[in-house]
Amino acid sequence: MLLDSVYDHYADTVLLFGLLLYYLDIGHSFGVITTVLAICGSFLVPYVRARAEGLGICVKRGIMTRVERSIVLIVALLISQPLIGAAVIAFLANITSIQRILIARKMFISEEIGERND
């Protein structure tokens, strides 16, 4: 399970980093910014989940999990539209991170209220 998770992060990162290098090489600033945001979102989604799990809360929900990110990136590369794929990942992965933070916050608050009522 750990190795699988690490491998998936490397796969996402290598593809997005290659895309970042390409946009840097051709001087496409929007592509660079979009790809950096996609990389950040790709790191934040599992990070928020792991931090929440470390604090005793399971947060797996969200609209752009690992599978969805991989599908978007693969399809975008197959149709020769990597910038669109990076933009979708950048937007939805960061939204997913925010979703998970809000879900965890709600769960923490409900646990605190439950502890106070005991």
116, part of any domain: no
Q: What is the pLDDT of residue 27?
A: 94
Q: Could you tell me if residue 115 is inside a domain?
A: no
Q: In total, how many domains does the chain have? A: 1
Can you give the pLDDT at residue 4? 66
- pLDDT the model gives residue 79: 96
CATH number, residue 95: 1.20.120.1760
Cα distances (angstroms) measured from residue 111 to each of 42, 49, 55, 97, 106: 28, 17, 12, 21, 9
Range of the domain at 49: 2-110
64 against 96, higher pLDDT: 96
Q: Annotated active-site positions, please?
A: 8
pLDDT of residue 108: 84
62, 96 Cβ separation under 8 angstroms: yes
Output the six-digit token pair for 88. 């979708």
Within a domain: 54: yes
Q: Rounded to whole angstroms, how far apart are CA atoms 92 and 85?
A: 11
Give the pTM: 0.84
Tens of pLDDT, residues 5-48: 677 778 888 889 999 999 999 999 999 999 999 999 999 998 89
For residue 118, being part of any structural domain is answered with: no
Whole-angstrom CA distances from 113 to 102, 108, 118 are 16, 9, 9
pLDDT of residue 113: 59
Asked if residue 18 belongs to a domain, the reply is yes
